Structure 1
Amino acid sequence: MLVRPATPNDRTAIIDLLRKSLGESSIPKSEALWQWKHEQNPFGPSYILVAEEEGQLIGVRAFMQWEWVRNGKIYRAVRAVDTATHPDFQGKGIFKKLTLQQAESCRQQGVLFVFNTPNGQSRPGYLKMGWIVQGRMPLKCKLLRPFSIVRVRLFDKKKYARQEGDPTPFQKWTFDVLNIPDDYVQQEGQLSTVLSPQYISWRYANNPLYTYNYFTDQEQFLLIGRIKRHAYAKELRLVDFVQFDLRADESYLRKAIKKQVLSFCEQHQIDFISFSGYQYRAYRRCFRWMGLLPVRQLGPVITLKDLNMQENFKYLLNTKNWCYSIGDLELF
């Protein structure tokens, strides 16, 4: 078996392998999506390894480049994402071999750590390879139509088809909204994704999977969200928040955000709102209108693997040192 870095010429074979191994799902397998996700990422192209057997592609492992910032310091990381093994070669350790070799390659290139949100089925395999569970992401929710939430819990979700997004934008992306001020300083003291016009444009405005749009006054804040349809409820998922000036009047921000969001929810018959518990705590004074329901550990389980952090890796395991957004961790 030959293991080597992937090239653009492998793209068609990689998509074919993903389809054979994983089938189609709510996230389609296409070359256009692969290019957007792994080649157009403003943090840089993904690290991708493939395994070959007699000229046939039998395995693939992709780590997406990511950058976090805290107190002005950039932390280079990778997000362990797409992986597949050909059905005829499963159970032979290809996933483990590619994953560990990819992690070592990233370590040699100065990447500090790996993060991802594996499901319950794949998580044990990651833990055996040295990943450590950090915890479950907290969420802050506001119920607008509580009975719809009850109905979601009463029925088996697997029986019903769901649409991931709403085809109608509630605001159209413009250049102005991506024009983050030069003196913009992100929330300090906690790790958060490096936000830039390039990142926001790639991750949200040009996302081929979901329709993301925004609430803004075009001066003080940008709140990004998307509608997620469930079988018996409609959710407004607030995926990212940018406060351009951390010294801005919080009473003004709170009123402006509340007015725009709740007006939209009424217009589109939203049943509940979800927001990152980390971002809610960091910007609590802007989101007090979200009510008294406590922040709860309802999001995905986050795992980390140290590459070059060494003693400082303990810092990463403390969830208080992070300000994850939903957009940082949702699958795409």
Structure 2
Amino acid sequence: MIRLYQPGDEIGINALYEKVFGKQRSLAEWQWKFETFPESSTIVVSEDDGHINGHAAFLKLTARQQGTELSLGERVDIMVDPDFQGRGIYKQIVSRMIEECETEELDILYGFPAETAKQVFMKVAGGKDLGNVPRFLAVNKPGALLAAKVGKLKAIQSPLDKVFSMSIPKKSRHQLRELGDRLAVVDMLYGRFENQYPLHAKRSGSYIQRRFLDHPTKPYQVYTLEQNGYAEGYCVLHEETKENGVSFATIVDLFGPNDEAIIADQLKAIRRFTKADVLNCWAVPDSPRYRALKKAGFFHINSPMPFVIKDFTGTGSYDELADWHLSQSDVDSY
């Protein structure tokens, strides 16, 4: 039976999630993802004799483009119990999800699916592949990377990193300051700069609170980027240390003037500020951020994330990657 979510389903949904993806997810994280963070969410399940064997959902968010408001949905957690595959469940839950999108008058459904899921989604939902989003890296401490791969090089890690640090940009006009409870600053920044960006998820102080500060398991650091004590942008960082000991800082979100030179200066300030060995960030090709990342010493390492949409507007206005502003904040898993 294909139906919409009912209270209590989250237990079976989380059990299916662990079985399909091999990762545990707490009830608190499920609640953040489907109840706290999005403006609303819609969940479709497949049930057989009281057992949830299929799941598809979208998180509903408001988007903006040059003053126009649109309703976005991020497709998430489309999964079928391996013991029930081959019965057409995937097609059924995706088809029902698309029906719910239309019922709720969603303008665009988007996602970053794995290759196999992408092909099925394109076929069943009639979606469009807009291409892959580039990922950039900046290495702050190459000695740490080398030592992680070749243990014998650990002895030269510190002196190598010290020498390399001389090449990291030392000067920038921006300084980082912890946002704290100054959520109104985000509202101010968004009001100033939103019209400089193509289609994007709407930012606000409440968005920052729900998306990052209220996350039950992931620690995010939110900073304003300031000149002479005045905020010119903000950034959200997530830092983690891998099993090999290398520390990574992800620039999950960065918002301010959509100006190549200013973004490059802000990125240099972030590089100088963080203690991480390596930084990574996304950027849409040929955008001001894409060019700014190169100016700030980042390099395009790969393009791992396919971006697909189902456009219900029928306008064709959002069918190119350049029509979008994307960052890792647009993916619920970051």
TM-score by length of 2: 0.78
Establish whether residue 239 from structure 1 lines up as the match of residue 244 from structure 2.
no
**Which position in structure 2 is the counterpart of 1:166?**
none
* Mapped partners of 2:191, 2:127: distance in 1: 37
Deviation at 1:183, TM superposition (A): 4.2
Cα 1:280–1:219 shift into 2, 3 Å: farther
* Mapped partners of 2:116, 2:319: distance in 1: 22
Establish whether residue 309 from structure 1 lines up as the match of residue 313 from structure 2.
yes
What pairs up with 1:176-325 in 2 under 5 angstroms? Answer: 176-177=182-183, 179=185, 180-181=187-188, 183-216=191-224, 217=226, 219-230=231-242, 231=244, 233-243=246-256, 246=257, 258-259=268-269, 261-265=270-274, 268=275, 270-278=276-284, 281-282=287-288, 290-291=296-297, 295=300, 297-306=302-311, 308-310=312-314, 312-313=315-316, 315-325=317-327
Percent of counterpart pairs with the same letter?
Answer: 21
Cα 1:287–1:95 shift into 2, 3 Å: closer
- Structure 2: which amino acid aligns with 1:203? R
Report which stretch shifted further, 139-148 or 65-74. Answer: 139-148
What pairs up with 1:1-332 in 2 under 5 angstroms? Answer: 2-23=1-22, 25=23, 28-44=24-40, 46-129=41-124, 130-146=126-142, 174-177=180-183, 179=185, 180-181=187-188, 183-216=191-224, 217=226, 219-230=231-242, 231=244, 233-243=246-256, 246=257, 258-259=268-269, 261-265=270-274, 268=275, 270-278=276-284, 281-282=287-288, 290-291=296-297, 295=300, 297-306=302-311, 308-310=312-314, 312-313=315-316, 315-329=317-331, 331-332=333-334
Q: Can you list the C-alpha shifts for 1:69-110, whole angstroms capped at 9, x where unaligned? A: 110111212111013323432221111110111112211221
Cα 1:22–1:239 shift into 2, 3 Å: closer
Cα 1:319–1:178 shift into 2, 3 Å: same
Cα 1:236–1:65 shift into 2, 3 Å: same
Counterpart contact for 1:277–1:295, Cα < 8 Å: no
Q: Secondary structure at the match of 2:101?
A: helix
Counterpart contact for 2:33–2:332, Cα < 8 Å: no
Deviation at 1:63, TM superposition (A): 1.2
Q: Secondary structure at the match of 2:318?
A: helix
Counterpart contact for 2:10–2:27, Cα < 8 Å: yes
Counterpart contact for 1:192–1:323, Cα < 8 Å: yes
Structure 2 unpaired stretches of 5+: 152-175
Q: Secondary structure at the match of 2:17?
A: helix
* Mapped partners of 2:265, 2:82: distance in 1: 54
Q: How many equivalent pairs are there?
A: 302
* Mapped partners of 2:196, 2:265: distance in 1: 24
Cα 1:254–1:316 shift into 2, 3 Å: closer
Deviation at 1:35, TM superposition (A): 0.9
TM-score by length of 1: 0.78
Cα 1:52–1:257 shift into 2, 3 Å: closer
Deviation at 1:53, TM superposition (A): 2.1
Structure 1 unpaired stretches of 5+: 156-169
- Structure 2: which amino acid aligns with 1:224? V
Deviation at 1:67, TM superposition (A): 2.4
* Mapped partners of 2:108, 2:253: distance in 1: 22
Counterpart contact for 1:241–1:279, Cα < 8 Å: no
- Structure 2: which amino acid aligns with 1:317? D
